[in-house]
Amino acid sequence: MLIHSADFTCSYVDWKKCPNSPEPEYAFIGRSNVGKSSLINTLTERKGLAKTSNTPGKTQCINFFLINKEWNLVDLPGYGYAKTSKSNREVWIKFTKEYLSKRPQLRNTFILIDARIPPQKIDLDFINWMGEKGVPFSIVFTKNDKPKKTLANIEKFKETLLEFWEELPTIFITSSVTNAGREDLLSYIDEVNGIEIIDIEDEI
Ligand code: GDP
């Protein structure tokens, strides 16, 4: 997929206020500092599109970016560590989970996992929550610029997932330093965009 345009459109702190737009949505989520903003900037080839962790005053919102005037890239708040109070954190965990479980436009969620560290309970708990709710997702390993150093973590993560799941979800291995995995991820979005959604009620 070639990126012709990538425009920030709006930010929300309440999922119910998200626009009633027809475009399919692809959400990106992961622990704070996982490399989400860097990946979004790499995917869109726009250096400052998503604000990186180093940006002062980075807030916890649902951010919409319209890509190629065709689909929405949705940047969700990072979970886990964040420089905010416990009550703030609870509020955005609630609206993020509501967005994920209720948003009709959502076609897939990319759950980002830092390949440089061993499997973390917080990520596995989140993945299992997605499974329980039946929300479609893929796993994206980030910071994979030195594959020899991350291979063992990735293998361990897959093994751990197979303790809970019968089969593995779609997995992408990426680096915002080398651009690894960028094409695969964008092609996947292209593919899913091409799948026609049939409303079962229309068929009856
Ligand atoms: P976010 O909090 O998930 O949005 O993470 P950021 O994109 O702000 O990245 C957090 C830190 O990880 C920053 O210091 C980035 O430079 C670094 N980082 C992000 N992606 C990569 C990557 O692919 N490779 C390496 N080596 N570092 C990365």
Cβ of 142 below 6 Å from ligand 1: yes
Cβ of 181 below 6 Å from ligand 1: no
Cβ–Cβ under 8 Å, residues 112 and 138: no
Instruction: Tell me the pLDDT band of 28, cut-offs 50, 70 and 90.
Output: very high
Mean pLDDT of the residues in the chain = 90
Instruction: Tell me the pLDDT band of 203, cut-offs 50, 70 and 90.
Output: low
- Amino acid identity of 47? K
Find residue 71's DSSP bridge partners: 67
Top CATH class of 6-203 equals alpha beta
Cβ of 33 below 6 Å from ligand 1: yes
Domain limits, the chain: 6-203
Among residues 139, 126, 133, 121, the alpha carbon closest in space to that of 93 is found at 126
> What is the token pair recorded at 30?
């992961």
How much is the pLDDT for 55?
Answer: 60
* Candidate of 37, 53, 177 to mutate for ligand 1, largest count of ligand atoms within 8 Å of Cβ: 53
Q: Greater confidence, 157 or 78?
A: 157
How much is the pLDDT for 83?
Answer: 61
> Is 90 exceeded by the pLDDT of residue 204?
no
CB atoms inside a 10 Å sphere around CB 16: 10
